[in-house]
A and B are shown apart, each in its own frame.
Chain A
Amino acid sequence: MLLVEYGEGVNLEVNRKVHATAARLRKRPPAGVEDALPSYCSVAVIYNPLLTTLSELESAILRLEEISSAPGWIPSPRTVEVPVCYSGRYGPDIGFVAETSGLTIQEIIALHATPSYHIYAIGFAPGFCYLGGLDSRLFAPRLESPRAMVPAGSVGIAESQTGVYPLNSPGGWRIIGRTPLRLFAPERPEPFLYDAGDSIRFTSISAEDFEEIYRREKA
């Protein structure tokens, strides 16, 4: 594995370079490259030493950056809408966030559903997005002891992060809503709705809409 680093910290510009390189490597993999795994600041290039050498690989990656910086060569990032039913039984912790922030529930929903959140990286669980851009008024501490089971689709806040649980799993985030979408559907030809480098925008939906979309997704 060769780690190609583009900078440090949580930085949008650095992260865009990371995902552009990963997309180029996927579109036109140099000899011996098996996969390219992007995260915040780096791309891990997984290669087969039987088919390439480190120096060949390094120059191939540099060449790829030069010839492929033309716009349109790799797909532009998308913004994916994720409908969320906030509060009620789907967002058991929204009252807690209201208390700690001093905001009303309506204000919380408005603040959370306004920005488009950049997907810096996907990992930890299938389809789990590390998102950037949460409004600082919504920052909330994790639960003191994690829940044994958080239902798939739950939307949570932990400190300065927000995100969605793609699978039923244990978890300590403050849950403010839930999406009826199946974010990880392994049997679909495209198991995921988004890719790292895309953005997510949450839209607020009613409990009735939730039920209807949920039924459709399950079918």
Chain B
Amino acid sequence: MASDEHEFNATRIFGFLFLYTALEVAWGMFYEGPRWALWGGLLLFAYLKGYLIFTWFMHMKFEGWIVKGLMLPTVPLVAIVIFANMPDTSFNDDMLYPIGSQLEVELVEVGERVARDEDGNEILDAQGNPVMVSQERLVSTGKVTTMADKTAPKAITKAQQDALGGH
């Protein structure tokens, strides 16, 4: 059995989706203002595009209460998943080692030890005395490295530009 037929101008909706995507990309790449305005603008464009796809392309506008009711519980569930987890990790300036950071360590010489071969036997020199080697240990430097400090692999852009013929 076919579903109810609902005519609408899909090309017009697509035009808006195209326009919003172009504006969103331009906003994300070229806007230099405060972060709240950058993110706010991006989320607004994402919402507008999602709304158009959900309402028109997925025909939610024409569906009855049952289909709408199936999707309704996801709204509070989404909020619960995100906001219930936030107090554990987010907005917490007191975290000793924030998520994504690494504690820097270095090798430090802490003394000498007897050199041993693969079988665990002491290695002796020509006079029969045990050979001594330096003993090292990983020690914390106390410095925390965040992701932004690391060198970012940027190679992708050049390779892709080459593949696209200098796009």
Bound pair (A, B): no
A interface, CB within 8 angstroms of B: none
B residues with CB within 8 A of A: none
